[in-house]
A and B are shown apart, each in its own frame.
Chain A
Amino acid sequence: MQNSLFSGTKLFPGAFILLLLVVSACNKKAQTVTPALPGNEFLTTVELQLTNTSDPTDVQLAISTQMSPYTNTYQVDSIYNNLAFMRLKANSTYSGRVIILDETQTPFDTVSNEILARENYHLFFFEPSPVLASNFVVSNTTTYIPQADWLTGVPASDTTAFGVSENESVTNSADSALNLVVNRTDLDDNIPPMQIGLQDNFVTGAASSGTLRTVLRHQPNAKNGTYPPGSTDLDVTYAVTIY
């Protein structure tokens, strides 16, 4: 019975080898890739609603939308900027609110409520342009966009309201700068709390004009107050006149 299955000289070492194979076979990594969830909402319209804190009747509503005013349908490659402007009084403070809508829904879906619910990984940035160099401080508590991420090569044909170029710039002269500083006033639920930017203060200086670029960054497990992490959920530019 030397060659029998149950031969003592083969069975016991064989069982030990089998044991090693069983254990080693389980030492592997599995990987699961989960695809995108269906039904994500569109961000069709971004409104900045500003109320003068000294004059509640002075309310500005600047609207940038991808909803065609002609067909009332969402246009993936077009932005309608004819209402994307604001006229602010000089040397004033406005309390600001960002309202984001999905106008493909009936009734409109207020996406900014969803952003508020997901405040822990969303952050707004506001870049006035031309920005006064002495005001331009990029930190985890300011709303400025790092210069490397500025719009600088936008074709002349791509403008915001009134044909104002969307290209951003910096200036050393207060006379040529847009005298506007935006500060976020709301805080999220992180530990420690970080700013969000759905609620803001817009502080104006002397009369001037320029643009205000508004960017919403989606920073899943990466929000740290700065601009770079994450991706951009929306990026719109408004024309600003301070008078």
Chain B
Amino acid sequence: MNSSKIVLFLTALCMSASVFAQQKPATFIEVDGGASLPLGNWGATATASSLMSIKGTVNDVRGWANVGAFGSLDGAWFFSKHFGVGGMFKFGTHGLKNVDSLSQGYEESFDVDTTRTTPTHYSLWSILPGIYYNLTIAKKLDFTARALVGITHASTPQIIVTIEDGGVFDAPIEQYSASKIAVAADIGAGLDYSVTKCLAIVLRADYFYTKPDFTINNAARLNNAGREVNNYDQPLESVNFSLGVAYRFGKKK
């Protein structure tokens, strides 16, 4: 099937769907990608000196999460002129920021020559069904909003700290990755600009919240010093900005 046939097929699909759409916004699916800005303690970091502990360990509430990237696939079916039901599947990751301070906190706590810190990243898979709202502002421009509640499978980063002193490398300090499924919510709004009968460019901003309460395991911590996180019960909340493309199964009325 060549390109012209595909265009004809999609056009026919739009027209046929529009017969049933009547006054309701068209059903759509949408692909988005964007940036996620972590909020609260999740996105907080610390200075090395505040992580230094030579007697007893520091249970750090800061998440060190950096600005992350995410992608999502969502869609909705409208049962009235403004309201519909739909859902979103989203995957996002956040690396760690200020790892140098994190690393130096271990270095000062254990009074060693060098530390080498290798973190992985947070990852979040979300399935979020909910309510969609649509309001036509202009011929080609719609305001959309959504309130979604579902579940998230979140994972914390693995953090490996290799410590060297006097040329000797001892067993690394290792904070294992932890995973948890938790209830999550997403509230957002956006603007849809129609570029063809079937396609629209979508700009969105969302607030995302989940609180997984991770239990975190660590490799053998023989000595009572330095940062050691065994439990992370802080919200993973973020503001997400995305740009996407929506495909409408039906002509916009």
Asked if A105 is an interface residue, CB under 8 A from chain B, the answer is no
Chain A: which residue is nearest B5 at the CB level?
Answer: A9
Asked if B235 is an interface residue, CB under 8 A from chain A, the answer is no
Q: Which of B56, B71, B117 contacts A20 (CB 8 A)?
A: B71
Binds A, one of B76-84, B138-146, B195-203: B195-203
Tell me which of B104, B115, B224 has the highest count of chain A C-beta atoms within 10 A of its own C-beta.
Answer: B224
Is B99 touching A189 in the complex (CB atoms < 8 A)? no
Q: Which of A9, A32, A40, A224 contacts B100 (CB 8 A)?
A: A32
Asked if B43 is an interface residue, CB under 8 A from chain A, the answer is no
Asked if B245 is an interface residue, CB under 8 A from chain A, the answer is yes
Q: Which of A64-87 contact B (CB under 8 A)?
A: none
Chain A: which residue is nearest B162 at the CB level?
Answer: A33
Q: Which A residues touch B32, using CB under 8 A?
A: 19
Q: Which A residues touch B71, using CB under 8 A?
A: 19-20, 22-23
Q: Which B residues touch A2, using CB under 8 A?
A: 3-4, 7
Q: Which of B110-165 contact A (CB under 8 A)?
A: 110-121, 163, 165
Return B170 CB to nearest CB of chain A, in Å: 4
Q: Which of B31, B102, B121, B163 contacts A12 (CB 8 A)?
A: B31
What 1/0 flags go to A82-107 for Cβ under 8 Å of B?
A: 00000000000000000000000000
Is B70 touching A30 in the complex (CB atoms < 8 A)? no
Given contacts A8-B196, A9-B6, contact A32 B99 (CB under 8 A): yes
Given contacts A23-B91, A37-B108, contact A30 B119 (CB under 8 A): yes
Is B170 touching A229 in the complex (CB atoms < 8 A)? yes
Given contacts A26-B68, A32-B100, A220-B112, contact A12 B199 (CB under 8 A): yes
Is B118 touching A220 in the complex (CB atoms < 8 A)? no
Is A29 touching B118 in the complex (CB atoms < 8 A)? yes
Of all A-B residue pairs in the complex, the 7 with the closest CB atoms, nearest first, are A231-B166, A220-B110, A19-B71, A34-B103, A222-B170, A231-B168, A15-B245
**What are 21 A-B contacts defined by CB distance under 8 Å?**
A8-B199, A15-B31, A23-B70, A26-B68, A28-B95, A30-B95, A32-B102, A32-B117, A33-B114, A33-B116, A34-B115, A36-B113, A37-B107, A121-B110, A121-B223, A219-B223, A221-B221, A222-B170, A229-B170, A229-B171, A232-B166
